A and B are shown apart, each in its own frame.
Chain A
Amino acid sequence: MFKVEGLKFKYPKNESDVINGIDFEINKGEIFGFLGPSGAGKSTTQKIMIKILEDFRGKISYNGKDITEYKDDFYESIGVSFEMPIHFSKMTALENIEFFLKLYKKNADIETLMKRVGLWEDKDKMVGEFSKGMKIRLNIVRALLNEPEMLFLDEPTNGLDPKNAMILKDMIREFRADGGTVFITSHIMSDIDQLCDRVAFIVDGEIKEMDSPRNLKIKYGKRSMNVEYKENNETIKVEFPMDNIGKNSEFINLLQTKDIETIHSGETTLEDIFIKVTGVGLKDE
C-alpha cells in the first residue's frame, strides 16, 4: 500500500542527511509503528510521506503510484495528525471541524466522531479554551473527517490521560478493522506494543530493526524461567533455561519443596528491546 525505498533526506539548512537511506513497506490493513528516540527522524519521515517535505531522494509509492505524481487529491484519501494539535483558537470546535469538512469530497459523520472522543458537549467552546488533551482529541476528529483510507499519526497519545488514550487506541483498531491502514510514530512503548502489527526502530535516520512486536520479543527475549522463593526469611532468585524445563529436576524439586513467591518467563518487554537496539550497545557493534 505504501512503499518507501532508499529514502534519504537533508534539511536545506543542515550539512548532513537526517534520514540515511531507509526502506520499509506498509501493507494494506496494517498498523505500522515507527519507534525511535527523540531526534531520530520520525516526524521528518512522516512529513516526507505526506508530501510536505519535497526534496527527498529515493522512491515512495502509494497504491503503486509514485507520490510525486499525486496532486492535491492525494489528501482526499489520507488523514494526518501532527505532533502539535493545530486549530483556529478563536473559533469553536464545531466551527473548526465544519470548516475543514467542507474542503473534502467525502464527509464522515462528525457528531458520531465527536461523541466518540467525548467532545460533543464542548463543541461550542472556543478551541483556545480547550485543555491540551481536548485539543489532541479534536485533532483526531480532524484527521478522520474525510473517511481516509490511510492515517498518519505523529505521537497521537502523547498528552492524553489513560482513559482517553484507551479510547483513541480503540478507535485506531476499529479503523483497521474497517480496512484502514495506519502509520503511527511514538516513543510510548506500551502503545506500540498493544496496537501495532509491525514496528520499525529508527535511530539516527536509519532503521535498526523491523518486525512484529511478538517476533521481536522472541528474538530478543531470554528463553529462561525466573523463580523467586522464600527461605529463612530471605527471598532467593534462581534462573533456569527454558528448554526442556519440564525435565529439569532441579526446577521441579524447587517447585515441590520451596515456598515459591513468583515465577516469570524471561520474555523481554518492547521497552527493553528498544533500549537494546537503540542504546549504546548496539551502536558499538
Chain B
Amino acid sequence: MNSRLAILVKGELHRLHKYNLTSVSVLVALIWGVFLFFLDSSLDTMLPFVLVMDATMMSIMYVGAVMFFEKSESTISTMLVTPVTNSELVLSKVLANTLHNMFASALIITVFMIIKDVSINIPLVVIAILLTTAFHTTLGVFMAYYQKDFTGMLVNVMIFSFVLFVPSVLFLLNVISGPIWEAILLINPIQAGQEIILAAFKDYEFTYKYYFSLSYLIVLGILGYKYFVLPKFQDYAVKQSGV
C-alpha cells in the first residue's frame, strides 16, 4: 500500500469517527447483540443473518452516508486539486469503509463467542465478511454517485434489497425450486454473500456454490470497480465542486 493511500484511509477513518458514524455502528452492533442474546433458541440461524445484513445493506448505507456528508461540504473538489489520484480516492473510501464495517461485525461476533460460546471458523468468516463488505461498499459508492440526497439513497437501497430478496424468499417458500434456480440465485450478490458467510458456521456443506460465490464476488467486484466505479468518479467529483 503506498503511503498516500494509507494517509487517505486514515483520514477517512478519522472522519468516520468525527462524523459519529463509528458511534452509530457500535450502537447498531450492540442492539443486534442484545437482540440476539435474548433470542437464544434460533441463534444459529440469526447470527449469520445479522452478519449478512451488516455486510450488505448496512455497508451500502454507511458509505452512502459518508458520501453525503462529503457532498454537503464539497470537500471532494479540494481533493481534486491535490496530487491524489482518482483511484487512490475511491480505493481509500472502499478500504476505510470496509475496515470500519468489519469492525462492527467483529464486535458482534466477539460478543457471541464470549457469551454464547458459538463456534465460528474465524479465517472463513473474516474472508467472507471482508469480501461481501468490500463488494457492497463499492456498490454503495456507485449508487451514491447518482442520488441527490440521502433519503433517495435509502429508498433505492430498500428497493434494491427488496428486489434481490424476493427470489430468495420465493425459493425458501418452494415457489421456485430445483438446482438450476439455486445456481441462478447466486447471481444475487446478497445471496452470494450469505453463502460464503454461512460457510463459517458449523454443519455447512462445501459445494460448488461456495466457490462460485467466492469467485463471483471477487470478479464482479473488480470488474465493477474498474469499468464503472472508477471511470464515473471524475464526473461525480466535478459535479460536487459546484459545477
Which A residues form the contact surface with B (CB < 8 A)? 11, 47, 50, 52-54, 71-76, 78, 80, 82-84, 86-91, 95, 99-100, 102-105, 142
Contacts and interface: CB of A to CB of B under 8 A. Distances in A.
Interface string B71-91: 001110110111111000000
Contacts of B155: none
Contacts of B85: 71-72
15 contacts: A52-B80, A52-B238, A71-B85, A72-B82, A74-B83, A75-B81, A82-B77, A82-B241, A86-B73, A86-B75, A87-B75, A90-B15, A99-B7, A103-B7, A105-B83
Contacts of B77: 52, 82, 86
Given A52-B238, A52-B241, A99-B11, A86 B78 contact: yes
Contacts of A105: 83
Contacts of A100: 78, 82
Contacts of A102: 7
A100 B80 CA distance: 12
Given A91-B18, A103-B4, A103-B7, A84 B81 contact: no
Given A88-B15, A88-B73, A103 B83 contact: yes
Contacts of A82: 77-78, 241-242
Contact of B82 (A88, A89, A104): A104
Majority SS of interface residues in chain A?
loop
A83 B242 contact: yes
Contacts of B4: 103
B211 interface: no
A105 B234 CA distance: 23
Closest 3 CB pairs of A and B: A80-B81, A103-B82, A75-B83
Given A52-B238, A53-B238, A90 B18 contact: yes
Contacts of A53: 238, 243
B92 to A, nearest CB: 11
B204 interface: no
A87 B243 contact: no
A84 B74 contact: yes
Contact of B83 (A47, A52, A76): A76
Contacts of B75: 86-88
B236 interface: no
B19 interface: yes
A80 B79 CA distance: 11
A73 B83 contact: yes
B82 A75 contact: yes
B141 to A, nearest CB: 19
Contacts of B81: 50, 52, 75, 78, 80
Nearest to A127: B73
A83 B84 CA distance: 21
A104 B83 contact: yes
Contacts of B7: 99, 102-103
Contacts of A95: 14
Contacts of A73: 83
A72 B83 contact: yes
B243 A47 contact: yes
A195 to B, nearest CB: 22
Contact of A90 (B8, B19, B74, B243): B19
